[in-house]
A = this chain, B = another copy of it.
Amino acid sequence: MIDRGNSKQATLSRREQQVRQTKDAICAATIRCLDKYGYANTSTSRITEEAGTSRGALTHHFPTKEDLIVETTNRILRPTASLPKRADQDTGRASKDHELSLIKAELRRVWEQVANTAEARALLEILIAFRTDKKLKQRIKPELVRWNLLMQSSIVQNYKLTGGGEDERLARIWQIARVFYRGLITHDAFVENSEELDEIVNEFVDMLAPMMQYRHHKK
Contacts and interface: CB of A to CB of B under 8 A. Distances in A.
A139 interface: no
Given A184-B179, A200-B176, A204-B176, A189 B131 contact: yes
A100 B105 CA distance: 31
A180 B176 contact: yes
Contacts of A200: 172, 175-176, 179
B41 A132 contact: yes
Interface stretch (A6-14, A17-25, A32-40, A52-60): A32-40
A192 B131 contact: no
> Interface centre among A144, A190, A200, by most B CB within 10 Å?
A190
A140 B130 CA distance: 24
Contacts of A186: 124, 127-128, 131, 182
Number of copies of this chain in the oligomer?
2
A102 interface: no
Given A124-B186, A200-B172, A132 B38 contact: yes
> Interface centre among A131, A133, A172, by most B CB within 10 Å?
A131
Contact of A203 (B38, B172, B182): B172
6 contacts: A37-B132, A38-B131, A38-B133, A39-B128, A40-B129, A121-B131
Interface of A: 35-41, 121, 124-125, 127-133, 137, 140-141, 144-145, 147-148, 169, 172-173, 175-176, 178-187, 189-192, 199-200, 203-204, 207
